[in-house]
Structure 1
Amino acid sequence: MSDVVLIDIFAGAGGLTEGFLRSGYTFVSHIEMDRNAIQTLETRGLYHHLQRNGDPEDYTEYVNGEIGREELFGRYPDFDSELYMNIELTEENRDMVIETIRSKMNDMGAVSVDGIIGGPPCQAYSYAGRSRKNMENDRRNYLYLLYIKFLKEFQPEFFVFENVPGMKSAKRGLILSDFQRKVTELGYKLDFGVHDAFDFGVPQRRRRIIVIGHRMGDEMIQFDKERYGGTVHDLLSDLPALEPGEGTDGPQEYRCKPSPILEEMGIRGDRDVLRHHRARRHNPRDREIYRRTIDAWNSERRRLKYTELPLELRTHRNTRSFLDRYKVVAGDLPFSHTVVAHISKDGHYYIHPDREQARSLTVREAARIQSFPDNYIFEGPMTSKYRQIGNAVPPLMSEKIALKLYEIYMGGF
């Protein structure tokens, strides 16, 4: 592919970025405030750099634990780490960030920017976030204005804006309507929709707002539905069974060879090494609740309500709301329920479907449900890894968006 130049803002751990990197796009900047997430994105950027240059063995050594991250990056002084800006975008620093990007464009010989991708943090727009105190006046409600500032400044031919469905009703719908009005005034035609990641081949029901703005014709951008053809059991069956507290964040052996569906999805290849497969510790009470939750699904195909638990297993006084606070990832379905950042707090809402294990999902299992490949390494402590995964756009979904945009941008409608 020819170079199509992008700016990546509110990048997170790179779920949206990954699809565009796989599709051959070139980035002049990645901007993210979370230090662990930007390090994850930088590590993945080096992976793609080595793949393009035909020398991936050093990355394999890193995944295998044979060398550390510092040594890995030390071997490639030509890799441009300055593309990865660990900074919180604000009204006060936006002009400085824009000037830094323009300087980087000049260094790379990029005359213009073809596209901007990203989505502001969703906490202020999500239904759960809006139920918390002081969220009404949270500055994150207005980060979309910074996104618009970048559109005004760089005038790309297209953009991809992603967020949670709750944005439709945030501030009584005024935020989304204001965003749409302002970008339309900039000359963009909008394709707006609430899309389910399951329709893009991801083994998860995950509905998200996708706004694609472009100046490339009048036809609607349509995506062909392509659904995951296995079950959650198929997705996880090659991973070692773990008791709570077992496993390691480092390299370990798979249980068996990859299934054809894992290879078809690009989740696992013959040379991959298993990482991030360590189970949380759970107390006996929680494990008993997990077993009952799994049994209710397996025997009656229903979700156990908190009020059905015997009194000795209850720890919360609230018996009127959030009655599904314990939820199993159904192994016999072709999709999981939505993985969100709260998985970093506890695993009660993401119970592994195997009754014998009676535990919550590992980082790697959550990453697979999000369609991250096994060679995607997440940096930082365990809680941060969960949060990065829960906040991400599934790479399979982003790849299909990237390929469709490339087809339109390079070939016209």
Structure 2
Amino acid sequence: MNYIDLFAGAGGLSEGFKRAGYSPVAHVEIDAAASYSLRTRAAYYHLKENNQLDQYLSYLKGEIPRQELYSRIPDEILNSIINLGIGDENNQEIFSRINRNLNNNKEIDLIVGGPPCQAYSLVGRARSEHGMKKDSRNFLYVQYANYLTQYQPKMFVFENVLGLKSAGGGIYLQNMEKLFNKKGYSIHIFSVKAENFGVLQKRRRLIIIGWRQDFTPNLPDLDNYQSGLKANVSCLFADLPAIQAGEGKDKFLSYANKKNEYLEAAHIRNGIPTLTQHIARPHALQDKEIYRIAVDKWNNDKERLNYNDLPDRLKTHQNRSSFFDRFKVVAADLEASQTIVAHIAKDGHYYIHPDNSQNRSISVREAARLQSFPDDFYFEGVKEGASRTAAFKQIGNAVPCLLGQQIAVNIKDLL
């Protein structure tokens, strides 16, 4: 079964479908760094499927540059990553490139993906002068529908934030359903919790599953789904070497311990002995002092830090009436962390590592693990080499791989 991934990001949702046995025809993504990540992941799968994984390992070890890695991959695979924005100005070019990959003689089984969520999210609306009402991203679902018209997939999976329900007083969601119906698709809207799918993170998302009206599927109950895969967040940190703020290596480190049951069951540690992107951002001394207070407060008293309780010398923000929890520990003893969002690319205050001997925010690899990305998944920047900011942004915007995989498995029989 094949699929097209629209608004693909770094490919978290796609990773889940690939693992479940689906074959990607194309990934369409406007962000250049994320597109490089998709190409590198495509290279990983090609080399793995052709028993040449040692070449990918050479890249993760820094022994060969990115362009040399890509030179060992067929052009049609690299060209299936389409770095263009979806819209009227680019759609014909995107259609043309997808059709070349299809050789014009195959049907598309599935379209997956979800437009950028800022226009629908409660946080995005709160930060916007006009509540995002004038944001063109409100209408990217219309473009999504154009791809349904073009390729007539049997089904589609549309992912977005819960705020889509209330955005515009619910009018966007209503118009979305009307448009999809007009295109010949019925839909069902699920509100899912990522931790029910084995992800060690509290993440609430809307999953819209649509199907062509020439059949009626027996849909899985994603609202109440339970994968049975559970663990404490500490399992994600247990095998990683201790590093300090500003330390770590892009390529490569060795693991500090053997993998545990969760890491294996979640496909996070999946056989490759090379640890990459365990990189921590540097911090000002004042922030590190706040981090120590926050970690002690949680580890000793199981209480979150309220910003107003800090000593006056550590309080530099003028806003004292909101955002009390701007400093928050990723608690190791809970079954799910706070939601990983793209803001982690700007600072790590909301994602403090629970070990005070390391006194830092979480690393790129730790954030990726909280999103259930496997350790052999490498996040690229536009320029070759470590780009901590680009990696954090891609991770924060991603769909957790385990969530994508469980959805893929559950609709496979329907197709």
Q: Normalising TM by the smaller chain, what interval? A: over 0.9
- Is the CA contact (8 Å cut-off) linking 1:5 and 1:110 kept in structure 2? no
SS of equivalent to 1:221: coil
Measure, in 1, the Cα distance between the counterparts of 2:138 and 2:176: 11
Q: Which residue of 2 aligns with 1:393?
A: 399
Measure, in 1, the Cα distance between the counterparts of 2:211 and 2:51: 34
CA drift of 1:222 comes to 2.3
Q: Which residue of 2 aligns with 1:264?
A: 265
Q: Which residue of 2 aligns with 1:310?
A: 311
Measure, in 2, the Cα distance between the counterparts of 1:219 and 1:84: 32
Farther-moved stretch of structure 1 (155-164 vs 81-90): 81-90
- 1:122-141: CA deviation from partner (whole Å, max 9, x where unpaired): 11111111122252201111
Q: Which residue of 2 aligns with 1:194?
A: 191
Q: Which residue of 1 aligns with 2:58?
A: 61
Q: Which residue of 2 aligns with 1:20?
A: 17
CA drift of 1:392 comes to 0.4
- Is the CA contact (8 Å cut-off) linking 2:247 and 2:280 kept in structure 1? yes
Measure, in 1, the Cα distance between the counterparts of 2:272 and 2:29: 31
Measure, in 2, the Cα distance between the counterparts of 1:13 and 1:235: 21
Farther-moved stretch of structure 1 (80-89 vs 386-395): 80-89
Measure, in 2, the Cα distance between the counterparts of 1:114 and 1:270: 31
Q: What amino acid does structure 2 have at the position aligned with 1:317?
A: Q
Q: What amino acid does structure 2 have at the position aligned with 1:384?
A: A
Measure, in 2, the Cα distance between the counterparts of 1:260 and 1:96: 46
Question: Counterparts in 2 of 1:97-246, with a 5 A limit?
Answer: 97-106=94-103, 110-131=105-126, 132-134=128-130, 135-215=132-212, 216-223=215-222, 224-246=225-247
CA drift of 1:78 comes to 5.2
Farther-moved stretch of structure 1 (224-233 vs 41-50): 224-233
Q: 1:24 to 1:146 in 2, by over 3 A?
A: same
Q: Which residue of 2 aligns with 1:342?
A: 343
Percent identity (aligned): 46
- Is the CA contact (8 Å cut-off) linking 2:187 and 2:208 kept in structure 1? yes
Measure, in 2, the Cα distance between the counterparts of 1:31 and 1:53: 25
Measure, in 2, the Cα distance between the counterparts of 1:400 and 1:368: 17
- Is the CA contact (8 Å cut-off) linking 2:195 and 2:201 kept in structure 1? yes
Q: What amino acid does structure 2 have at the position aligned with 1:408?
A: L
Measure, in 2, the Cα distance between the counterparts of 1:375 and 1:24: 18
Measure, in 1, the Cα distance between the counterparts of 2:14 and 2:200: 19
CA drift of 1:66 comes to 1.4
Among residues 89, 94, 112, which one is paired with 1:92 in the alignment? 89
Measure, in 2, the Cα distance between the counterparts of 1:240 and 1:144: 43
Measure, in 1, the Cα distance between the counterparts of 2:303 and 2:182: 49
SS of equivalent to 1:348: coil
- Is the CA contact (8 Å cut-off) linking 2:371 and 2:400 kept in structure 1? yes
Q: 1:218 to 1:265 in 2, by over 3 A?
A: closer
Structure 1 unaligned regions, length at least 5: none
Farther-moved stretch of structure 1 (148-157 vs 385-394): 148-157
Q: What amino acid does structure 1 have at the position aligned with 2:349?
A: H
CA drift of 1:58 comes to 0.6
Q: TM-score, normalised by structure 2?
A: 0.94
Aligned length: 404
SS of equivalent to 1:250: strand
Find out whether 1:319 has 2:320 as its counterpart.
yes
Q: Which residue of 2 aligns with 1:353?
A: 354
SS of equivalent to 1:16: helix
CA drift of 1:227 comes to 4.2
- Is the CA contact (8 Å cut-off) linking 2:76 and 2:101 kept in structure 1? no
Q: Which residue of 1 aligns with 2:79?
A: 82
Measure, in 2, the Cα distance between the counterparts of 1:271 and 1:129: 38
- Is the CA contact (8 Å cut-off) linking 2:254 and 2:273 kept in structure 1? no
- 1:282-315: CA deviation from partner (whole Å, max 9, x where unpaired): 1111011111111221222121111111110011
Structure 2 unaligned regions, length at least 5: 382-386
Q: TM-score, normalised by structure 1?
A: 0.94
Q: 1:218 to 1:75 in 2, by over 3 A?
A: closer
Measure, in 1, the Cα distance between the counterparts of 2:345 and 2:4: 28
Farther-moved stretch of structure 1 (190-199 vs 227-236): 227-236
- Is the CA contact (8 Å cut-off) linking 1:258 and 1:270 kept in structure 2? no
- Is the CA contact (8 Å cut-off) linking 1:32 and 1:87 kept in structure 2? yes
SS of equivalent to 1:150: helix
CA drift of 1:366 comes to 0.2
CA drift of 1:79 comes to 5.3
CA drift of 1:49 comes to 1.5
